[in-house]
Amino acid sequence: MSTGAGPRTVRELLFGLPMLSGELPGFEPDPDPDAATGAVPPTPFPLFLDWLGEAVAAGVREPHAMSLATVDADGCPDLRVVALRDATEAGWTFATHAASPKGRQLAGQPQAAIAFHWREQGRQIRARGPVLRADAATAARDYLDRLPGSRAASLVGHQSEVLDDPAALPRAFDAALARVTEQPETVDPLHALFTVQPLSVEFWQGVPGRGHVRLRYRAEHLGGPWTRERLWP
């Protein structure tokens, strides 16, 4: 326990911490006939690809970590971070255990929201819409593409269940690793791939001390057509 004379309250600790600091990229979504830059594509995916590429080039840490919100059977929201496995015009795909809380929540209510926060660039991307689970063959291919440790971790299962005996975890992991090593064709049938299919996608660019720039794409049904609209910050 620290005995230093640090801040006494969380409020004091937070006071003065920088946010949206440093040099941030610009974002000018309004078509400007006099400028070479400024126009945005008519659909959100190419802009997501541009921003993801810029995040990777800028050295943003873990740009593929995305927050995923689902709702449980009581309508209560739940939220966690997952890894983006792929993205196409059809949506953002992640992998998880079908029997996990998020897997069960998505089975009961197949809709979700995701958010990326790329703090080094002051950027946020949000999307929401219905969620589609991939067929078993596609999930199996994704599973077999993984390193043995990742396949073993999935086989261990029990995600988010109470771990009464922590020593049971390395035992279960070692047994699962032995299984994937001895039988490399083993597939975890509960390994699931889900795609969040967008009906709305928002690109948010922080502007220190000024109005943040927000652009939302919205569609009435999957696949567009897309309406683009600027939002008040």
Annotated binding site for FMN: 102, 124, 159-160, 204, 214
Does 205 bind ligand FMN (CB under 6 A)? Our answer is no
Cα(163)–Cα(178) distance, rounded to whole angstroms? 21
Cβ atoms 114, 16 nearer than 8 A: no
Q: Which is nearer to ligand FMN, 102 or 126 (CB)?
A: 102
Among 109, 150, 159, 200, which residue interacts with ligand FMN (rule: CB under 6 A)?
159
Tokens 């991307």 belong to 125
Structure tokens at 74: 């009581």
Q: Which is nearer to ligand FMN, 80 or 212 (CB)?
A: 80
With contacts defined by CB under 6 A, how many residues of the chain interact with ligand FMN? 16
- Report CA dihedral (48, 53, 58, 64) to the nearest 10 degrees: 70
Does 163 bind ligand FMN (CB under 6 A)? Our answer is no
Please list, in sequence order, all residues whose beta carbon lies within 8 angstroms of the beta carbon of residue 148, skipping any fewer than 6 positions away: 177, 180, 181, 184
Can you say how many angstroms the Cα of residue 152 is from the centroid of all Cα atoms in its chain? 23
Q: Which is nearer to ligand FMN, 40 or 55 (CB)?
A: 55
For the segment 87-106, give every residue that binds ligand FMN (CB under 6 A): 94-97, 100-102
Among 28, 80, 177, 186, which residue interacts with ligand FMN (rule: CB under 6 A)?
80
Query: Which positions lie near ligand FMN, rule CB under 6 A?
Result: 62, 65, 78, 80-83, 94-97, 100-102, 159-160
